[in-house]
Amino acid sequence: MTQPEIKTLQAIVERNQVWPVMAAKYGVTNPLPPWKTSLDGMCDALDKSVCEADVPSFKERRDEEDELSATRYSNLPYPENQLVALAHSLVARGIIDEEELQARLAAIRARLEA
C-alpha cells in the first residue's frame, strides 16, 4: 500500500521531540513516555471496534505500523514510531482529517505549555 505524505506528521518527525530527548531535558528517568498507556488503550479499542468507519483490523493496523515504522518513520524511536504510524493510518483512512489532527495537537501543546 502506498502511503500518502501527511505534512503534520512529517513536521513531528523533523522536530525530533522524542521521549528520550525530552526525558533527558527534564531529568525524567522513566523509559516510557506517560502517553504510552493511552496509546495502548487506543490500539486495544481500535482492535475491538465495530463501526461504519474504515477502521483497520488488528492485522492491518500492525502491518501498516510495521511498514511505516520501517520506512517513513524509521528515524523515530519506539514508541513514537508506533504513535505516528497509528495517526498516519487514521488520517490516510479518513477516520480523522489532518486539520482535526493539527487542532488536537495544538490543544495538547497549549495545555502542556500553560
φ and ψ of 68, to 5 deg: -65, -40
> What is the residue extent of each domain of the chain?
58-114
Calculate mean pLDDT across residues 56-74. 90
The residue that leads in pLDDT, 112 or 67, is 67
DSSP assignment string, 52-92? SS-PPPHHHHHHHHHHHHHTTTTTSPTTHHHHHHHHHHHHH
**Cβ pair 73, 85 in contact under 8 A:** yes
Question: What is d(CA 38, CA 70) in angstroms, rounded to the nearest whole number?
Answer: 23
> In the predicted model, is pLDDT for residue 2 greater than 80?
no
Range with lowest mean pLDDT among 25-34, 48-57, 62-71: 48-57
Q: pTM for the complete prediction?
A: 0.86
User: For position 108, what pLDDT does the model report?
Assistant: 87
pLDDT tens for 9-38 read: 999 899 988 999 989 998 999 999 999 999
Which residue's entry shows cell 525530552? 22
What pLDDT is recorded for position 52?
Answer: 66
